Amino acid sequence: YTFFLISRRTSLIAKSLKKRKKCQLRLTFNRFENCVKVFYPIAFNWNFFTSHHQSTIGDFYQVKSSQFRTACFHMVFPELSVLNLLGNLMNLFEVPLHSCYTDNGKVNHTLLINWLNDLPHDKIEKISFSCENAKEFDYILKNNKKEWGELELFSYNRDNADSEESYNISNQFSTVLCKKATVSCLPLSRSSIINVLNVVELDIKESQLSNQYLKQFLRNWAAGKSNSRLNQAFFAINEPVQLKTILEGFPFVKKDPRTTKRYIETDAYGEKLSFWIFGGYDIQLHDGRTATLQWHKFQRKFEDSTIPLRWIQKYEDVNELENNIDRDAHENMFREPENELNSDQLIDLSFN
């Protein structure tokens, strides 16, 4: 009752608590704010800030379709105080932490990971980490004790994106549990992080992967040396796909695009994309499963889309791989009319 009477803002907070509707708590560290966001399935949400300065932000603002009321708390050490604030809000709203985002390159990951490990619940739905060097990634993956629904790893220090050695992750922690991992803006051409992440879905974006690296990943994975839980992987590489290089040394079965198709869902720039990929190449795994390697060149929006004649001709061409080794060839640079992505550099791996 006393809290209710302090101010108009605390009165609104108290009313939100009184409703006891199910909500989500999201922790955010970035270069602009340290805050806890409270998302309700109603018209407005709460944004609780901690700041070095007195707040100059208005009581109300809107991001896309989400409306927020704000409450700012002046703190001497806002990065540490926001964790204490989050703990209090978890108790007040009686909900666990839903997700955590870091995007300022200055987060104390030791403090954050230890705090997350001490939470009473076993799973966090989404974790997003930005790090400046391999040491930070190494610490996060080695010391995490929670199950993550989805993990995002990306480089904040993009000016040093060409420093491949700085992301040469050790191979000692293949027990990281999460359903999906998204890796972007990291130079991965000599990194083992893709083999380390033992996930169900893998999405590699804006990387420096090569055809040769993808071939080595397939070799390790097919032999059972990594990614035992993997069901689907999406790769963007930094050069046109060369199937001869990727499939060299693999016995494979070419699949007819008229009879083989897979439904794919992925994220691109914050939006969900869905489409169908036709045809592919079946690879036999050590455990008896079959993986289908598919190229995003051969995609359509709908399951019943018409199959172009040249797709069928490529399927029937016994010299297809030999004809697909010139990175400047028309076949490598061609983009399908329905495709909005740069599909000559995208490839998908799915499993039966």
* 144 found inside a domain: yes
Express as a percent the part of the chain with pLDDT over 70: 57
Q: Which residues contact 84 (CB under 8 A, 6 or more apart)?
A: none
pLDDT tens-digit series, residues 16-54: 655 555 667 777 776 556 566 666 554 456 666 565 555
Which H or E element spans position 227?
A: none
Q: How far is CA 268 from CA 75, 333, 335, in A?
A: 37, 21, 18
Q: Is the pLDDT of residue 344 over 60?
A: no
Q: Is the pLDDT of residue 277 over 70?
A: yes
Q: Is the dihedral of CA 270, 276, 277, 282 positive or negative?
A: positive
Q: Which of 83-92, 116-125, 136-145, 197-206 has the highest mean pLDDT?
A: 116-125
* 119 found inside a domain: yes
* 51 found inside a domain: no
Per the prediction, the chain carries an average pLDDT of 71
Task: Name the residue range of residue 249's domain.
Answer: 24-39+77-351
* 244 found inside a domain: yes
Closest-CA residue to 135 (of 160, 167, 101): 167
Q: Which of 141-150, 242-251, 252-261, 296-305 has the highest mean pLDDT?
A: 252-261
Closest-CA residue to 20 (of 98, 94, 79): 94
Q: 240: left (phi > 0), else alpha (psi -120 to 50), else beta? A: beta
pLDDT tens-digit series, residues 210-262: 888 888 888 888 888 877 788 888 887 777 778 888 888 888 899 999 999 99
Question: Which structure tokens are listed for 110?
Answer: 């030791």
The span from the CA of 186 to the CA of 157, in Å, is 10
* 68 found inside a domain: no
Higher-scoring residue by pLDDT: 225, 133: 225
* 48 found inside a domain: no
The span from the CA of 204 to the CA of 315, in Å, is 27
- Predicted confidence at residue 173, as pLDDT, reads 45
Beta carbons of 12 and 24 less than 8 angstroms apart:
no
Number of domains in the chain: 1
Q: How many residues would you count in the chain?
A: 352
What's the pTM value of the predicted model, to 2 decimals? 0.72
DSSP 8: H
* 64 found inside a domain: no
The span from the CA of 194 to the CA of 188, in Å, is 8
